[in-house]
Every structure is written in structure tokens, then in C-alpha cells.
Amino acid sequence: MRTRKARITAVLSYLGSIMDATETELDYTTPFELLIAVMLSAQCTDKRINQVTPALFAAYPSPEALAKATPEEVFEYIRSVSYPNNKAKHLVGMAQRLVADFHSEVPTTLEELTTLPGVGRKTANVVQAVAFGKAALAVDTHVFRVSHRLNLVPSTATTPYAVEKALRRYIPDETVAASHYWLLLHGRYTCTARKPHCETCGLAHLCTSKDKVLPKG
């Protein structure tokens, strides 16, 4: 029986051996662009977001430019993503707040980031980790699912924040950002929600999930 610390260490050691330390598949060049991309990516694929953002970034290259737009104008650029009406409103509101309260700069702290319209803890943690190199762990649906399937967190960790706190107990600061990316990609491509690819998973021997499916014989 492995301790939870040992399980987390083993899982991250394996994932780190087969993946690089890149922290997002979203395309961006500035913290402002990253913030927009992460806000748009909620319940939408990174591939779709990367198709949408080039034209959006070109039309609104700065917080000032986006702050002057209307949600209706922004909607035309993001209509193919999930919940485009709400996201358009949030993007404009976010830009207006950056201009008014943060000198048009993306803030670096969780407390400040989460004051922006449409920015929750997960989005703020991604921006902190990727744009500013902070030891912040974002828990999305993939990280949440993988953490429970591999028994990295207790069953009582029923919220993203609870999973974040449980994982952070045993992940060194220097690998926190990469760990988010590794767990996310493992959930996105291997430990998928409906049909996990257990037969090709290098962590199957550690997995005690009821969802595990291995070939017979």
C-alpha cells in the first residue's frame, strides 16, 4: 500500500519522464493574450481557442483596445466557442477593469486576478503559473478526474479547491506548474472521461479506479 505522497511522487515522476515542462497548449505571446485565451477555454477545447484567438488578438491587441469594444463586437470573433455571449461580456469587463484599476497590466496575484470579471480561481492559477512562473496549481475537470482515479487525493476532496489543497501538500513548489500540465494532458489524452485508454496507460498498475478497463487474457 503506497502512501498518498508516494503515489503522487510516482505518478508525477512517470508523467514528467514522458512529457516536457510546457504549461499550456494555448497559443499566446503576452500575459494579456494568455488571460484572454484561458478565459475563453472554459468548457471548450484549446484547439478551438487557438483557431479563434489570432483574429481576436489582432483586433484587440491591448487592454485599452478591448475595453473600448462592445460585447456584441467581441461576440463576432468568438461566436464558435462555448457560451460566447457571457464570455464576450466578461472579456470586455476584464479589459475595462485592467485599464481602470491595474494600469492596463495583468495582475500577478490570485487575489487581484479574481477581481476581474470572468476570472475564477482556476483561470487565475493558470495565469499565475504560466505567465508569471508562480507555484500555482489549477484544477480543471481533467486534473480533478485523474487525481481521483489514481487515488492522489482523498474521496472527501469533492471540489476543485479541495483537490488543489490535497495535491499541494505533496508537490514541491518547483514542479507545481508542470504537474498541472502533466495531469491535464494525461486526462485529456489517456485517462479520458468516457473511455479511458487503460491498455496504453503507463500508470495502470497504480490505478485502483472502478473505471479502469484492461484487456482480458
Would you please indicate which residues are annotated as catalytic (active-site) residues? 122, 140
Asked whether 212 and 165 are in contact (CB, 8 A), the reply is no
Strand segments (E) across 64-167: none
- Which positions ≥6 away from 84 have C-beta within 8 Å? 75, 78
**What is the number of alpha carbons within 13 Å of residue 202 lying toward its C-beta?**
12
Write the burial class of residue 196 (CB in 10 Å: 0-12 exposed, 13-18 middle, 19+ buried): buried
Quick one: which of 76, 122, 70 has its CA closest to 91?
Answer: 70
